[in-house]
Amino acid sequence: MRALVTGAAGFIGSALVDRLLAEGHSVIALDDLSHGRAVNLDKARTRAGFDFVDADIVSHDLIGLFAETRPQVVFHLAAQIDVRRSVQDPQFDATVNVVAPPRLGDLARSCLDPRKAESERGRPARIGLAEGVARTVAYFRGLPG
């Protein structure tokens, strides 16, 4: 499997990258290193199947990256996590944390064979907003409180 991991140099992202590589998958690690640390990927850099892209999820040419790498799965862990910046520049915060994730989802969906994606998940590749909200609310209501 070829996986794209955004936020790959963060604590959780780097652990995921290491696990994927250990299981024999190839990994495209995307991080702008604004909060993640390059040292977190030192182990991964020594493994076959690892590629690092120093870029952010907003301004980088993600369409070109997806077209070139054709990931089979995307793990989106990148986020703008600086509270001070979120107060000083809420538009940037919203762009990274609200606008970019659906864009990544659309790009990921465009890379998958829709018939394969449907058969693997057992449900249609796209659902409407109302159904998505209903499923989310139902899921969270079912969680132990």
Low-confidence ranges of the chain (pLDDT < 70): 112-129, 132, 136-145
Per-residue pLDDT, 129: 66
Q: Name the pTM for this structure.
A: 0.75
CATH 3.40.930.10 given to domain 2-112: no
Domain coordinates in residue numbering, the chain: 2-112
**CB-count burial class (<10 Å; 0-12, 13-18, 19+) for 51:** middle
State the SS3 of the chain. Answer: CEEEEECCCCHHHHHHHHHHHHCCCEEEEEECCCCCCHHHHHHHHCCCCEEEEECCCCCCCHHHHHHHHCCCEEEECCCCCCHHHHHHCHHHHHHHHHHHHHHHHHHHHHHCCHHHHHHHHCCCCCCCHHHHHHHHHHHHHCCCC
